[in-house]
Structure 1
Amino acid sequence: MIKENFIKIYEDSFKANWDLPALTDYSKGISFSFGEVATEIARIHILFEECQIRRGDKIALIGKDNSRWCITYMAAVTYGAIIVPILQDFNPNDVHHIINHSESVFLFTSDRIWDTLEEEKIANIRGVFSLTDFRCLHQRDGESIQKLLKTLDSKMAHKYPKGYSIEHIKYADLDNEKVVLLNYTSGTTGFSKGVMLTGNNLAGNVTYAKTLGLMFKGDRELCFLPLAHAYSCTFNFLVPMAVGAHVFLLGKTPTPKILLTAFEEVKPNLILTVPLILEKIYKKMILPQLNKRTVKLALNIPLLDNRIYAQIRKKLIDAMGGRFKEVIVGGAAMNQEVTDFLYKIKFPFTIGYGMTECGPLISYDSNEAFIPGSCGKVLNGIMDVRIDSEDPYNQVGEIQVRGENVMKGYYKNDEATNAVFTQDGWLKTGDLGTIDVEKRIYIRGRSKTMILSSSGQNIFPEEIEAKLNNLPYIMESLVIERDGKLIALVYPDYDTVDGTGIMHTDLPLIMQQNLVEINKLVAPYEKVASIQLYPTEFEKTPKKSIKRYLYSNF
């Protein structure tokens, strides 16, 4: 059990950082100090009390990341309720299901998403509140929430006649073993499951992050990944709020152009991202430089190459604000070419590993200790790892973990819970890989996506796709098996195609050449039979993994 109590961490932080800025909606310029966040939490607690919300009741939360999303989350857990964050990319039917399955009694949502939901399909919801201004959007028949909200100011004034202040901060006494969060996984294999995370699970992640020396009181942090995802929620929100850092919530689609402008303005001290965003910056910003004839020639000259790499590194660091200690990449596997290049130019980045069921962190290395191909060492003293193979250092097997961060189970789903744990209590991640003697993890692929060749060889489509995506005019790819052969579905990089004046009718011929090139790069049993053009980008989860199950019968 983690020594620090999860709720107490925030009780102490709000007191210690009362006057410091806490949350800013970057695109709207709305800000809250830690004291103002604590005051908003107190108002919501009065609402909960007046509506007789009990400890352990579920509060659903869905909408674009903003300050009130964060305030709602913190108000729920510090009251002793269970927060149910829902990814805003889920379709309305999935949202209805999650609200009902979780037995949520209140819903906090953006006005736009509320317009897509049908109140008769979530009949057990007592009240719906806007993430724009906390007004009541809907109340169940017999409820008097709208009337109550009109008297909330007077109730607040009556309870705190001299105003709400530091000495009033006192949150729920809740043991760390209690569930505080129900996180419904996005998943790439079908319907989501409700992951039950305890205060201990989240405290394990937060207290470990605090030991890394990456974020301090007064630091600035730019959040551009969806907070309803465990990775972003923990490290873009829970950790900064625990140490007294200032979170800027982007609130826009994180295109390279928008992100680079925001980096320049915010100048974050730590950057958390997913591979897709770094890969896009690499393609748009770095590759054009490397492909210049003069640069290509210069890179073949000893000593001069190091100077050029240093210039590229400085330009990239400056473009990302210039003040960050490290870029942490997580959520999915990163393209090996991008990884190798960033490592070669000594760019301060690292790749971690986790899953929602661990809230999320399993392994991490600092950028100084990072080894390309790995995703860090298992968290010392908090987590343990084993590989389900006879030779875990050389023979690929399923990665299995146990420790402080591992979930309690899936909500109301004993069958799924029993299936994901081994008989001796290890969590089966579904990822395949090896470890080294320092318990550094090397992932090869997902057990559900692995293809068994006719000769009995294990084929990891993600490894072939990483090589395909480095070939000319390919934006993204998906390797599937059809009639015993490997077929690559490819969505072309139309921006580059149009920029170079190539006709779209020439793409099949270009892909034939790419087919020749990819088959030079893979093992004989991994040879691709054909490349087929796909008309649109592949549908993805919020952490930007392709939803493979949608294309298995293409």
Structure 2
Amino acid sequence: MSSKVTAKNLAELFYESAKKYGDKPAFGTRNNLKQFVTINFSELYEVGLALATGLIELGLNAREHVAVLSDNRKEWIIANYGIILSGAADVPRGTDVTDGDIQYIIPHSDAKMVFVENETTLRKIEKNRNDLPNITYVILMDEESILKNTKDNLDKRIQTHSNVQTISNTIKMSDLIAKGKKLRELGDRRVEERVAAIKPEDLFTIIYTSGTTGEPKGVMLTHTNMISQLRNIPISIGPKDRFLSILPVWHSFERVFQMGTIAMGASQYYTNVRNIREDLSIVKPTFMASAPRLWESIYQAMQTKIQTGSFLKKILFKAAYHSALRIQRSLHFFKGNQLDLNGRNFLQSVLLFIFSLFTFIIFLVPYLILDTLVLKKIRQVTGGNLRGTVSGGGALPLHIDEFFNTIRIPVFEGYGLTETSPGLAFRTPKHLVVGSVGPLFPETEIMLKDIETGKVLYPPEKGIKGEVHVRGPQIMKGYYKRPDITTKVLSNDGWFNTGDLGIMTYNDTLKIVGRTKETIVLLNGENIEPVPIENKLCQSPYIDHVMVVGQDQKYLGALILPALDKFKDYGSTYEQLATNRSVQQKMEQEVKNMIRTENGFKSFEKVVEVRLLPKAFEVGDELSAKLSIKRHVVTAKYQSLIDSMYLEKIKVSVD
């Protein structure tokens, strides 16, 4: 991608793409007839220019901020174009935004206007209007909303800035675009002046973190940050590619792919969790960004289908997968892509080569036959044309990772944070080391430091765990209006402390093994990473969600949400299962069977106590928009349940 991106900022990128790709479909949204309505690159740019002109006419100044509350849809990218072409920065969020988010994020970000997707989101703004004194206009995307209580405002047409009231009015986005188009027909070229004045260090967005560890923080990302990502993403994208967009459209991870498709002339189609399986067959994407939870869901669906099949189909799948696993592991070794955390001497390498070659020869013919008969059909679940998917926003469980790469649905796990725009490392077809997040991006430096002493471990030491510190052109400008917390993670010489724990492998790829903030420290001083334990437990068909606890305690405990469909005989709700002793005993035995030394866990990593949760984790409450567990929220909500794991033991020991 590096040789193709020449724009200095995103506004220039939009212009270059419109000129180069013209009438090629850029973005599409599914309608009620299950058809994707698209907008081409020229239309998108022209509509963006008109919207930007309308925003300027309303009084939006360069470098001001505009909130956008919307999910994946074509109008989102139009709003994005309009805001950036006007020289402003967006403050994006989804329609699942809470009252607390609205009351904090919009005022804190100094947003002057706010785009809302639909009537439901508009009512959230209206409900919190008294807490939004700086908002002058609310701009409605959805044309089909029936806004009885704001009908008078919607019927008003945009007037010149001098005649517009300074209180918050609700306006249709289509009306604003129409006004801007008329002004441009009359010769208005204020947008071009704004674009020419954009500086590389200007913000294009402020993305507020989901708050998994506390109060949301506004991450300031510049045009330079995003352009560096487009310059360095090491995958080949072209006009023939079709992307399916399912991750929250406002997340930094998804936005890189949006901008990447714009830069390379690819087409992107917006979908959602409800329609994903159907849209995979309709769009037949060649690429997509994804979260681990999506692949866990697809994996579970595949496993269920396999287990409910005939005896012959089960045998054929097991044989097909076993032969494919042997072949793929051999190929990984030959390519230097077998995960290596310890290093190998010459003799070990020779022995592994002989073993891999022997394995390859033995299993090649069965693999070729069974791949055609069995695995090829399974690959059709993604549409049949998927060249790859990048999983990000959380750790991909190893068994999921290896499963999809074994059946040749390439999963290129990436790594980064909102604060790093987000890409720091990225697996590629040439460096597909299962169990790692791939080699570092070009222009990116890394240090791994000892958590206790701060001593730099890498470079040069490989295979040793340390806290990940990075430096490069993708690092954020800082947290908006929070210099106090910015200085805690971002040094004067540009090094950013990710808070993640990583290992540099002997394959020269990065492996993430946990977070310093997630690390549980027992009373005996043992440091434990809960994620590998949770990932292992989530492999159980009897467990839907789990969170390991035990900070400052003698042993680990686990909060578990049992799989409702596996315990139908014991209750129809999670609340009923949580109080059922038989279910409790089953969970205790399941945890004991899975977290044991024979499965690679140390004695102090064993889960001693288990408590069942009375309700499912929900996005916006216990889960972030990326489906990451908000540990502080779960801990606070179920503190008494957590305490009971240890208080009861104390009582027993006293008695």
- Which among 525, 542, 545 is matched to residue 625 of structure 2? 542
- Which among 510, 525, 531 is matched to residue 610 of structure 2? 531
SS at match of 2:604: helix
Query: Which residue pairs with 2:550 in the alignment?
Result: 481
Deviation at 1:76, TM superposition (A): 0.9
Does the aligned pair in 1 maintain the 2:140–2:171 contact within 8 Å? no
Report matched runs for 1:273-352 at 5 Å: 273-286=290-303, 288-289=305-306, 294=312, 299=318, 303=363, 304=366, 307-308=369-370, 311-352=373-414
Determine whether 1:219 maps to 2:241.
yes
Query: Which residue pairs with 2:120 in the alignment?
Result: 112
Query: Which residue pairs with 1:159 in the alignment?
Result: 184
Deviation at 1:86, TM superposition (A): 1.8
User: Are the structure 2 counterparts of residues 99 and 88 from structure 1 closer, same or farther at C-alpha, using a change threshold of 3 Å?
Assistant: same
Does the aligned pair in 1 maintain the 2:222–2:477 contact within 8 Å? yes
State which drifts further: 30-39 or 324-333. 30-39
User: Are the structure 2 counterparts of residues 265 and 149 from structure 1 closer, same or farther at C-alpha, using a change threshold of 3 Å?
Assistant: closer
State which drifts further: 368-377 or 386-395. 386-395
Deviation at 1:456, TM superposition (A): 2.7
Note the alpha carbon deviations across 1:451-495, whole angstroms, 9 max, x for none. Answer: 123333220000111111112411121101164221111112223
Distance 1:515 1:146 in 2: 55
Note the alpha carbon deviations across 1:182-234, whole angstroms, 9 max, x for none. Answer: 1111131111111111111000112223x521x21142211111111111122
State which drifts further: 363-372 or 220-229. 363-372
- Which among 425, 449, 459 is matched to residue 363 of structure 1? 425
Distance 2:134 2:179 in 1: 29
Deviation at 1:179, TM superposition (A): 1.6
Name the amino acid aligned to 2:46.
T
Name the amino acid aligned to 2:268.
V
Query: Which residue pairs with 2:286 in the alignment?
Result: 269
SS at match of 2:221: strand
Does the aligned pair in 2 maintain the 1:38–1:169 contact within 8 Å? no
Distance 1:197 1:351 in 2: 23
Does the aligned pair in 2 maintain the 1:518–1:528 contact within 8 Å? no
SS at match of 1:48: helix
Determine whether 1:490 maps to 2:498.
no
Name the amino acid aligned to 2:123.
D
Does the aligned pair in 1 maintain the 2:45–2:81 contact within 8 Å? no
Query: Which residue pairs with 2:99 in the alignment?
Result: 92
- Which among 228, 237, 252 is matched to residue 250 of structure 2? 228
Query: Which residue pairs with 1:83 in the alignment?
Result: 90
Report matched runs for 1:118-129 at 5 Å: 118-129=128-139
Determine whether 1:510 maps to 2:586.
yes
Deviation at 1:290, TM superposition (A): 5.9
User: Are the structure 2 counterparts of residues 479 and 60 from structure 1 closer, same or farther at C-alpha, using a change threshold of 3 Å?
Assistant: same
- Which among 434, 439, 445 is matched to residue 384 of structure 1? 445
Distance 1:122 1:196 in 2: 21
User: Are the structure 2 counterparts of residues 379 and 8 from structure 1 closer, same or farther at C-alpha, using a change threshold of 3 Å?
Assistant: same
Name the amino acid aligned to 1:387.
L
Does the aligned pair in 2 maintain the 1:273–1:330 contact within 8 Å? yes
Distance 1:336 1:171 in 2: 45
Name the amino acid aligned to 1:265.
I
Deviation at 1:66, TM superposition (A): 1.2
Does the aligned pair in 1 maintain the 2:479–2:486 contact within 8 Å? yes
Report matched runs for 1:235-254 at 5 Å: 235=257, 237-250=258-271, 252=272, 254=273
What count of residue pairs does the alignment treat as equivalent? 544
Deviation at 1:510, TM superposition (A): 2.0
User: Are the structure 2 counterparts of residues 405 and 497 from structure 1 closer, same or farther at C-alpha, using a change threshold of 3 Å?
Assistant: same
Deviation at 1:175, TM superposition (A): 2.2
Does the aligned pair in 2 maintain the 1:78–1:172 contact within 8 Å? no
Larger Cα Rg: Structure 1 or Structure 2?
Answer: 2
SS at match of 1:60: strand
Distance 1:309 1:534 in 2: 42
Distance 1:450 1:536 in 2: 25
Name the amino acid aligned to 2:559.
L
Deviation at 1:424, TM superposition (A): 4.1
Does the aligned pair in 2 maintain the 1:87–1:229 contact within 8 Å? no
Note the alpha carbon deviations across 1:167-189, whole angstroms, 9 max, x for none. Answer: x9994442212222111111311
User: Are the structure 2 counterparts of residues 313 and 205 from structure 1 closer, same or farther at C-alpha, using a change threshold of 3 Å?
Assistant: farther
Note the alpha carbon deviations across 1:114-144, whole angstroms, 9 max, x for none. Answer: 2122212111111000021499769864578
Deviation at 1:92, TM superposition (A): 1.5
Deviation at 1:309, TM superposition (A): 5.8
Deviation at 1:314, TM superposition (A): 1.9
State which drifts further: 119-128 or 45-54. 45-54
Query: Which residue pairs with 1:185 in the alignment?
Result: 209
User: Are the structure 2 counterparts of residues 513 and 4 from structure 1 closer, same or farther at C-alpha, using a change threshold of 3 Å?
Assistant: same
SS at match of 1:377: coil
Deviation at 1:388, TM superposition (A): 0.6
User: Are the structure 2 counterparts of residues 126 and 533 from structure 1 closer, same or farther at C-alpha, using a change threshold of 3 Å?
Assistant: same
Name the amino acid aligned to 1:277.
L
Higher helix share: 2
Distance 1:151 1:200 in 2: 29
Does the aligned pair in 1 maintain the 2:54–2:180 contact within 8 Å? no
Name the amino acid aligned to 2:241.
D
State which drifts further: 397-406 or 133-142. 133-142
Does the aligned pair in 2 maintain the 1:229–1:542 contact within 8 Å? no
Query: Which residue pairs with 1:407 in the alignment?
Result: 476
Distance 2:295 2:202 in 1: 37
Does the aligned pair in 2 maintain the 1:310–1:345 contact within 8 Å? no
TM-score by length of 2: 0.76
User: Are the structure 2 counterparts of residues 151 and 321 from structure 1 closer, same or farther at C-alpha, using a change threshold of 3 Å?
Assistant: closer
SS at match of 2:559: strand
User: Are the structure 2 counterparts of residues 400 and 27 from structure 1 closer, same or farther at C-alpha, using a change threshold of 3 Å?
Assistant: farther
TM-score by length of 1: 0.89
State which drifts further: 290-299 or 36-45. 290-299
User: Are the structure 2 counterparts of residues 472 and 306 from structure 1 closer, same or farther at C-alpha, using a change threshold of 3 Å?
Assistant: farther
Does the aligned pair in 1 maintain the 2:533–2:595 contact within 8 Å? no
SS at match of 1:10: helix
Structure 1 residue ranges without an equivalent (≥5)? none
State which drifts further: 73-82 or 292-301. 292-301
User: Are the structure 2 counterparts of residues 342 and 291 from structure 1 closer, same or farther at C-alpha, using a change threshold of 3 Å?
Assistant: farther
Distance 1:306 1:508 in 2: 46
SS at match of 2:412: strand
Does the aligned pair in 1 maintain the 2:138–2:169 contact within 8 Å? no
Distance 1:43 1:383 in 2: 38
Deviation at 1:355, TM superposition (A): 0.5
Does the aligned pair in 1 maintain the 2:306–2:313 contact within 8 Å? yes
SS at match of 1:116: helix
The percent identity for this pair of structures is: 26
